Chains A and B, each alone.
Chain A
Amino acid sequence: KNEVEQSPQNLTAQEGEFITINCSYSVGISALHWLQQHPGGGIVSLFMLSSGKKKHGRLIATINIQEKHSSLHITASHPRDSAVYICAVRSTGNQFYFGTGTSLTVIP
Chain B
Amino acid sequence: KAGVTQTPRYLIKTRGQQVTLSCSPISGHRSVSWYQQTPGQGLQFLFEYFSETQRNKGNFPGRFSGRQFSNSRSEMNVSTLELGDSALYLCASSLATPGYSPLHFGNGTRLTVT
Query: Across the A-B interface, how many residue pairs have beta carbons closer than 8 Å?
Result: 56
The answer for the CA separation of A98 and B38 in the assembled complex, in Å, is 12
Indicate if the CB atoms of A45 and B58 lie closer than 8 Å.
no
Contacts of B65 in A (CB 8 A): none
Indicate if the CB atoms of A45 and B55 lie closer than 8 Å.
no
Contacts of B105 in A (CB 8 A): 35, 42-45
Contacts of B112 in A (CB 8 A): none
Indicate if the CB atoms of B108 and A41 lie closer than 8 Å.
yes
Given A43-B90, A95-B45, A97-B45, are A30 and B33 also a contact pair (CB < 8 Å)?
no
A48 in the interface, Cβ–Cβ < 8 Å?
yes
B interface residues, Cβ below 8 angstroms from A: 33, 35, 37, 42-45, 48, 55-56, 58, 88, 90, 92, 98-105, 107-108, 110
For this complex, 6 residue pairs linking A to B, each with C-beta atoms less than 8 Å apart, are: A33-B102, A48-B101, A94-B98, A95-B58, A98-B42, A101-B42
| Given A41-B107, A42-B108, A44-B105, 7 other A-B residues pairs in contact with their CB atoms under 8 A | A33-B103, A48-B101, A94-B98, A96-B99, A98-B43, A98-B44, A101-B42
